[in-house]
Every structure is written in C-alpha cells, then in structure tokens.
Amino acid sequence: MARRGKKRGRPVSGWVVLDKPVGMGSTEAVSKIKWLFQAEKAGHAGTLDPLASGMLPIALGEATKTVPYVQDGAKVYRFTVAWGEERSTDDLEGPVTNSSGQRPDEAEVRALLPKYTGVIMQTPPQFSAIKIAGERAYDLARDGETVDIPAREIEIGRLDLVEHGGDRSVFEVECGKGTYVRSLARDMGRDLGCFGHIAELRRVEVEPFTAEDFVTVAELEAARFGGKTDEGQDEAGAPIDFSAIDALLVDTAVALDCLPQVAVSDDAATKIRLGNPVIIRGRDAPVEADEACATARGKLVAIGAIEQGMFKPKRVFAG
C-alpha cells in the first residue's frame, strides 16, 4: 500500500499582524493562522502570554526570514498594575506570595518612573522562558523550584502613568527586546512597599507595525470562509479563492524598513537571487552598509551587505 505524501501548504508570504485575544497562546495563534491561510511555513516575532492581548506579528512563508528584525524592534504595552499583592507568576495566574494593606498615591507612583526609564537592569520572572542549565525557568517553577535568574540589561524608552485609582494604576511603556512587563509591576510594587502584579496587559505596537495593521481572528475567518467549507474546496468542488484573506497580509518588506533600501533592475535581481554580487548604481546609493535591503519593482529581493559599491546577498527571497 503506497504511503500518502505529506500535504503541503500554499507558498504564501507576508505578515499577519494579529490582535491576539486573551486566553490564546502564541503557539496556538500561529497554528490557527497557518491553517487559515493553508501556508507552508509560519512563525511569530515575540511571544505574548495567554493572559495578554494585542499585537502578535505572525510571519508566513518568506516573511519568516525577516522575523529577527521585528523581534529586535521597539514594543509598546498598555498595562494595569494591581497594588497590594505579589503573585508567583507576577500576573493574575499565580497564587499570592506577598500582600500589604499599603497603597501608593499618585505622586509616589510618578516619582518612581524615572528609575525605570533608560537602560536598567531587570530580573526576569520565575515563570519565564529563560533557560537555566538547559531547562526553561517556567518548567522549574512549576516543579516548585526557586531558581536564581541573573539580572540583565534592558532599555525602556518611556514609561508613562496613564491613570491612577488607588488600588490600581494604568501605565504605557515603550521598551526594547527582552523586557518583561510583569517584572516591572513586581519591582515597582516592591519599591513602593505595597507589592504589585499585572492585572491587564495589552501589546499595542511592535515596530514597524502599528494598530492600523491589526486584524482579528474573526476578520480572518470571515475572509477565509464566506460560504466555503474548510477542506480546501467550495461546495461545488472548485478550489477555494484565497484572495480575500491574502489581501489582509502586510507585505514582507515592511519588516525591513529599518534597513537601507537599494532598488535594482530585473537583471540585477536575477543575479542576486542566484547568490551573485552586483554593482549598485545611482547617485544616492550607499557605498557601504553592513546590512541593506535590495528590491526590484517594489518587491523584496535580498538582504545583504554593501561593500565598495557592490551589493553582496546574504539571504535571498523568492520572486
């Protein structure tokens, strides 16, 4: 009996800037999006906890090659800290580990903000994906172990107090890669002498994407199905038209807005995709760049270096 070949997905590429709902894990979200698009490949650019909502950029196809650039981008979170309790997970999920009847006033909270702005040292939560001796910290924490997680340097561009109501404060933070907002809540609570944990957390921006790029699961499902079955064919047996859902994708090249852009001809694009360097022409073309992005007719061709007026491809993209 012949073995059935593994069903391959579509060679679709681009970014889905998902507005992830509370309760859905990041891996679950990627699987859902991959299935909706019937994509060959998918991955996300930065985990978002199940209890958090908001922006989860998911790369499909060739866009997976640009994930590191989005992971390194600045992120903006809106979050609520509940004062008076510290929890094992630093959010609502874990049991209370410390409590206090003290509550900070608005002036005390505002006075604390400069301490958490700029380049600071931060210790990740016990329940985090940090690896300790080859094991995830959250696995050790679930087994009842208290692990020594070393503090690390992070950068916070701004931390604003949006609203203060006695038992709770609402903040907005713009931060760099590796920042744990749960740790911010924990550490601020300790500094204020009242303890604290995250009660609500929403990621509203991941550079270079903005809220205008958001799309929900419901919107994707409506675009994907609309009178069609979920088996790859409509009720008459004809192939499903993916044009409506594909129209919700953000172009792969948007993730590389942070790099110098070099426009090349079709002939040069062909050479680059074969791994060959090409001479960069044009009065405004950069002479040197450790990383740059080559495009042809507005379409992404490759990421590479520019040395002595030549573009040398490092990672190419299908045409």
Q: What is the pLDDT of residue 141?
A: 61
Structure confidence at residue 170 (pLDDT): 98
Question: Closest by alpha carbon to 279, among 290, 267, 137, 291?
Answer: 267
Residue 230 CB partners (closer than 8 Å, separation 6+)? none
- For residue 98 the two structure tokens come to 């410390």
Burial-class residue 295 by CB neighbours within 10 Å (0-12, 13-18, 19+). Answer: middle
Return the amino acid letter for 297. R
Identify the three-state secondary structure at position 218: helix
Residue 148 confidence (pLDDT): 74
Tokens representing 167 are: 């038992």
Task: State yes or no: is 49 an active-site residue.
Answer: yes
| Angstrom distance (rounded) from CA 277 to CA 312 | 4
Task: Tell me what pLDDT residue 154 has.
Answer: 95
Q: What is the pTM of this model?
A: 0.88
pLDDT for the residue numbered 1: 44
Q: What is the pLDDT of residue 14?
A: 96
202-211 confidence digits (pLDDT tens): 999 999 999 9
Q: Which of 33, 11, 24, 10 is CA-nearest to residue 248? A: 33
Q: What DSSP character marks residue 134?
A: T
Angle at which helices 217-224 and 26-37 cross, to 10°:
20
Do the beta carbons of residue 1 and residue 37 sit within 8 Å?
Answer: no
pLDDT tens-place string over residues 279-291: 987 766 777 889 9
Whether 198 contacts 92, CB under 8 Å: yes
Q: What is the pLDDT along the chain (319 residues), one digit of tens a residue?
A: 444 545 678 999 999 999 999 999 999 999 999 999 999 999 999 889 899 999 999 999 999 999 999 999 999 999 999 999 999 999 998 899 999 999 999 999 999 999 999 999 999 887 666 676 666 766 666 766 677 778 999 999 999 999 999 899 999 999 999 899 999 999 999 999 999 999 999 999 999 999 999 999 999 999 999 755 454 555 555 577 899 999 999 999 999 998 998 999 999 999 999 999 999 877 667 778 899 999 999 899 999 999 988 999 999 998 7
What the block records as the tokens of 217 is: 């699961």
Q: What's residue 143's pLDDT?
A: 60
At residue 106, the pLDDT reads 97
Give residue-wise pLDDT tens across range 208-226.
999 999 999 999 999 999 7
Distances (CA, A) of 206 to 4, 75, 99, 217: 41, 5, 34, 18
Q: Is 121 left (phi over 0), alpha (psi -120 to 50) or beta?
A: beta
The H or E element that residue 317 is part of is none
Look at residue 281 in the predicted model and tell me its pLDDT: 76
Q: In which residue are the tokens 């690896």 written?
A: 131
Which residue of the set 49, 91, 187, 213 is catalytic?
A: 49
Q: How many other CB atoms are found less than 10 A from the CB of residue 184?
A: 25
**What mean pLDDT is reported for the chain?**
89
pLDDT at res. 234: 53
Residues 6+ apart with CB under 8 A from 27: none
Give the pLDDT confidence of 80-115 residue by residue, as tens digits.
999 999 999 999 988 999 999 999 999 999 999 999
